Amino acid sequence: MTDESENEEINIQEMTTPELLELMQEDLYDGYADEVVEEVNEALARGMSPYDVLTQGLVAGMEVVGVDFRDGILFVPEVLMAAKAMKAGMEVLRPLLAETGAPTIGKMVIGTVKGDIHDIGKNLVVMMMEGAGFEVFNLGINNSVDDFLGAIAEHQPDILGMSALLTTTMPYMREVINALKAKGIRNDIIVLVGGAPLNEAFAEDIEADAYCRDAAVAVETAKKLIQIKRSKSRA
């Protein structure tokens, strides 16, 4: 066993940097957390910036995971393994990114609405969003209007994500959006909603910006809407 790990270490050190990044992406895709950490450390030792390791290694790998999840090639267990490997790599990079003030794509506050304690889908969205380069504040389950408003005031996110799995808790999303309107901040924030019983018509009815049927779609939609919002603000 020791010989194998020594051989792997030698191989990694002998690789070119593009080869190392490609291996990092492949190992992330396969959910090999220990190998990803080793490759992240090797890339840093070569003088790569933490931000470049993040974007060219981890984020690039998670993009492939997202596409294959959306297309039905990967399923939730495999995505969770990839996300775990991503998280392991991020634990090395996060303090370094904070020191260098590296940019993020945007900030997101996300939570399951009041009365609902389901969070597997939401947690998958969190992992995929972090993997795409977003800073995510996960409020967990059973969140009231005040919980969402408090988190928005504290973190000033670009995006609010709300999740519900029960048809009985879906209408609470409207209450949160109405509270944003009452505060005069509805137009300042992108609202994404998701969960098994929801659909696009419901999202439109409660005046959310978009319904996201799964975590991969949530990432794509978030990126697209942030880009639109920022191009409008620059115009």
- For the stretch 58-111, pLDDT in tens is 989 998 998 899 899 999 899 989 989 998 999 999 888 878 877 778 999 999
Final residue in a domain of this structure, among 46, 67, 100:
100
Q: How far apart are CA 149 and CA 147, in angstroms?
A: 6
Contact call for residues 139 and 151 (beta carbons, < 8 A) = yes
Final residue in a domain of this structure, among 100, 124, 156:
100
* pLDDT, average across residues 140-168: 97
Pick from 142, 125, 145, 155: nearest CA to 222: 125
Range of the domain at 140: 107-234
Do 28 and 114 lie in one domain? The reply is no
Do 75 and 191 lie in one domain? The reply is no
- For the stretch 9-57, pLDDT in tens is 558 999 999 999 999 999 999 999 999 999 999 999 999 999 899 989 9
Do 210 and 180 lie in one domain? The reply is yes
Task: Using the Cα atoms of residue 62, residue 94, residue 105 and residue 120 in order, give the sign of their dihedral.
Answer: positive
Q: How far apart are CA 158 and CA 105, in angstroms?
A: 10
What's the domain count of the chain? Answer: 2
Which pTM was predicted? 0.77
Question: Which CATH number fits the domain that encloses residue 201?
Answer: 3.40.50.280
